[in-house]
């Protein structure tokens, strides 16, 4: 696995193509072509055997029919009487021949017209004359090849060869039979077989077989091209020494000793094998090329996208977070590319957020420094200020100015709280006490024009908030809401903790309110990183909350149902130590 993992993807695809595609195709082609070749050879051999049996059966049937014809003539009593008869005058013979003998022989010939070409009776009866189908046995006749070498003592069939009359060079099969051994004369029946269907039958098998009809002496009677061969008289044509197939005629038939030999024509077999090989090779080449093309396409699909992804990863080290813009696809590499793009976008956003946060922190630190400087510049002597307020408080009490004394006392506590920098966050309970003192001072300013109320749950009072966060919202409500109101002003402070663990503090007033456009602009200015002089108080509150709680802070402004405005702070609920 280590070696495989070290190979490039392209090399893996090449190895997979060679071992997983090309090699199996070659093995399969060799196996299939070997079996197909053997199947073709077996099929062609079986076809040749069936063709040989078909020719043999046809020839055997034809020979059997001719033998049956000879048996029929031999057993015809009328023919026997007419042949044995001694004619007194030639006129009597010719009259008997034309009126009786020839019609009988013609009737037999017509009955077997497909198998025989002619019938002839040969006799040494001196009262017979040569002519037609009856011939005298003369020395010239006895010298012919078909004539039996010796006349058998009993009637039997023999098959001989002779040249067909009128067609020089074409061998003619004839069957001879000795008739009526009890007669004082020698009578021989010769039946000439029709060679045309025999030669046509054997030539029809020429595309598949080379057939040889071989006589007992080993000469070929019928063979390829025998119909066109003009050198037959010497009977020198012999079959090949070895042939693929052979069949012998029955020992008990007139064709005893004759054989039918066959050589299988391998050209159709070789052509079929060649076609199968060509088709198999073409199919193998097409499959190999197609598989190679698919492997090339798939490897390019993986390699190119992997290289593109690698280049973008390298560029990310140089803080270039540009996403891959090309279609990454829907496979695993596509998903990896999509996650890479999302990761790059997230990293860039985090870096930007971190940079902005650092800028904000530096800005807040700078503002804190400036505030401390202003505080130091404005701080004359807190003890002197508080002592002065206490002196005024004592004087007011002594003179019976109770209301003024309460305001001075609240103002003294308020100033002490404002100069106290030891705590950044306090419980909401303390912040609300501070808010009550602010509202008392504001109520002293506005008189009966300002009324206020608190709706705070005990659970909410235990959670902490940044110092002076709620107080800023209350001052904003008095300054921008109640101050411009002609009638009775009302400010309400509500606080509660929801089921999700969020502390919500809401400050509402029934003041003059703002238009929707102004409200939308204020909401944008609060969260803007730039300083906005129109909303500096709300911006400071939001930024202080942001420093403590991060992006979990929500400072929302909205218009009340009838009139006025509602400011809501939502921060994570945290209890003080």
So where are the chain's domains? Answer: 321-365, 446-572
pLDDT of res. 99? 92
Structure tokens that stand for 205 in this block = 């098998």
Mean pLDDT lowest among 129-138, 193-202, 514-523, 543-552:
193-202
Band of the pLDDT at 408, cuts 50, 70, 90?
A: low
Within 10 A of 502 (CB to CB), how many other CB atoms are there?
Answer: 14
Q: Does residue 377 carry a pLDDT above 50?
A: no
d(CA 150, CA 152): 6
**Contact, 572 vs 552, CB < 8 A?**
yes
Q: Does residue 233 carry a pLDDT above 60?
A: no
Question: Which residues are paired to 507 by β-bridges?
Answer: 493, 567
Within 10 A of 571 (CB to CB), how many other CB atoms are there?
Answer: 21
Instruction: Write down the mean pLDDT value for the chain.
Output: 78
Residues 6+ away with beta carbon under 8 Å from 97: 131, 132, 134
- Which range of 5-14, 47-56, 178-187 scores highest in mean pLDDT? It is 47-56
- Dihedral sign (CA 232, 235, 236, 240): positive
Tallying the residues shown for the chain, one arrives at 577
Share of the chain above pLDDT 70, in %: 77
Q: Does residue 166 carry a pLDDT above 50?
A: no
Q: Does residue 541 carry a pLDDT above 60?
A: yes
Within 10 A of 376 (CB to CB), how many other CB atoms are there?
Answer: 8
Nearest CA to 292 among 25, 497, 79, 109?
A: 25
Collapsed DSSP state (helix, strand, coil) of residue 391:
helix
Residue range 446-572, CATH number: 3.30.565.10
Mean per-residue pLDDT for 553-565? 84
Q: Which long-range contacts (CB under 8 A, 24 or more apart) does 432-439 make?
A: 432/456, 432/461, 432/470, 432/493, 432/495, 434/468, 434/471, 435/470, 435/471, 435/474, 435/493, 437/410, 437/411, 437/413, 438/414, 438/471, 438/474, 438/475, 439/474, 439/478, 439/491
- Dihedral sign (CA 63, 69, 73, 75): positive
Q: Does residue 493 carry a pLDDT above 90?
A: yes
DSSP H or E run through 76: none
Place of tokens 């009490």: 397
Mean per-residue pLDDT for 61-78? 85
- Which range of 159-163, 389-393, 438-442, 493-497 scores highest in mean pLDDT? It is 493-497
Q: Does residue 172 carry a pLDDT above 50?
A: yes
Band of the pLDDT at 453, cuts 50, 70, 90?
A: very high
Q: Does residue 577 carry a pLDDT above 70?
A: no
pLDDT of res. 231? 45
């Amino acid at each position: 696995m280590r070696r495989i993992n070290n190979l490039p993807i392209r090399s893996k695809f090449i190895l997979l193509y060679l071992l997983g595609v090309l090699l199996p195709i070659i093995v399969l082609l060799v196996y299939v072509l070997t079996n197909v070749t053997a199947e073709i050879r077996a099929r062609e051999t079986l076809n040749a055997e069936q063709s040989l049996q078909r020719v043999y059966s046809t020839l055997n049937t034809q020979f059997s029919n001719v033998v049956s014809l000879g048996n029929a003539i031999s057993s015809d009593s009328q023919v026997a009487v007419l042949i044995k008869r001694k004619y007194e005058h030639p006129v009597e013979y010719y009259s008997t021949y034309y009126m009786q003998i020839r019609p009988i022989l013609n009737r037999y010939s017509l009955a077997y017209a497909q198998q025989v070409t002619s019938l002839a009776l040969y006799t040494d009866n001196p009262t017979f004359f040569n002519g037609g189908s009856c011939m005298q046995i003369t020395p010239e006749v006895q010298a012919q090849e078909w004539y039996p070498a010796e006349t058998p003592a009993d009637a039997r069939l023999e098959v001989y060869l002779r040249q067909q009359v009128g067609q020089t060079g074409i061998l003619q099969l004839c069957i001879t039979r000795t008739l009526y051994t009890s007669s004082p004369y020698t009578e021989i029946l010769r039946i000439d077989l029709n060679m045309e269907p025999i030669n046509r039958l054997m030539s029809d098998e020429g595309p598949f077989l080379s057939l040889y009809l071989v006589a007992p002496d080993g000469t070929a009677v019928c063979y390829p091209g025998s119909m066109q061969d003009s050198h037959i008289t010497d009977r020198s044509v012999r079959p090949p020494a070895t042939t693929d197939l052979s069949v012998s005629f029955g020992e008990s038939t007139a064709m005893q000793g004759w054989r039918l030999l066959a050589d299988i024509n391998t050209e159709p077999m070789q052509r079929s094998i060649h076609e199968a090989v060509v088709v198999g090779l073409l199919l193998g080449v097409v499959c190999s090329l197609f598989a190679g093309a698919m492997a090339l396409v798939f490897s390019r699909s993986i390699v190119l996208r992997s290289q593109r992804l690698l280049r973008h990863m390298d560029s990310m080290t140089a803080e270039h977070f540009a996403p891959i813009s090309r279609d990454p696809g829907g496979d695993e590499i596509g998903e990896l590319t999509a996650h890479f793009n999302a990761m790059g976008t997230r990293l860039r956003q985090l870096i930007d957020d971190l940079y902005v946060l650092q800028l904000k922190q530096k800005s807040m630190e700078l503002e804190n420094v400036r505030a401390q400087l202003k505080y130091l510049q404005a701080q004359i002597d807190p003890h002197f200020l508080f002592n002065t307020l206490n002196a005024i408080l004592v004087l007011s009490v002594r003179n019976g100015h109770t209301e003024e004394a309460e305001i001075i006392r609240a103002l003294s506590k308020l100033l002490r709280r404002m100069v106290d920098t030891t705590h950044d966050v306090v419980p909401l309970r303390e912040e609300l006490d501070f808010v009550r003192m602010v509202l008392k001072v504001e109520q002293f300013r506005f008189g009966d024009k300002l009324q206020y109320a608190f709706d705070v749950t005990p659970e909410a009072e235990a959670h902490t908030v940044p110092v002076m966060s709620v107080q800023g919202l209350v001052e904003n409500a008095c300054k921008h809401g109640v101050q411009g109101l002609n009638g009775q002003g009302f400010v309400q402070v509500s606080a509660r903790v929801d089921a999700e663990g969020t502390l919500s503090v809401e400050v509402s007033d029934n003041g003059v309110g703002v238009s929707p456009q102004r409200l939308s602009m204020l909401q944008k200015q609060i969260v803007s990183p730039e300083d906005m002089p129109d909303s500096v108080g709300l911006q400071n509150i939001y930024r202080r909350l942001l420093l403590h709680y991060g992006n979990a802070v929500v400072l929302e402004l909205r218009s009340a149902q009838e009139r006025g405005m509602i400011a809501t702070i939502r921060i994570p609920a945290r209890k003080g130590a």
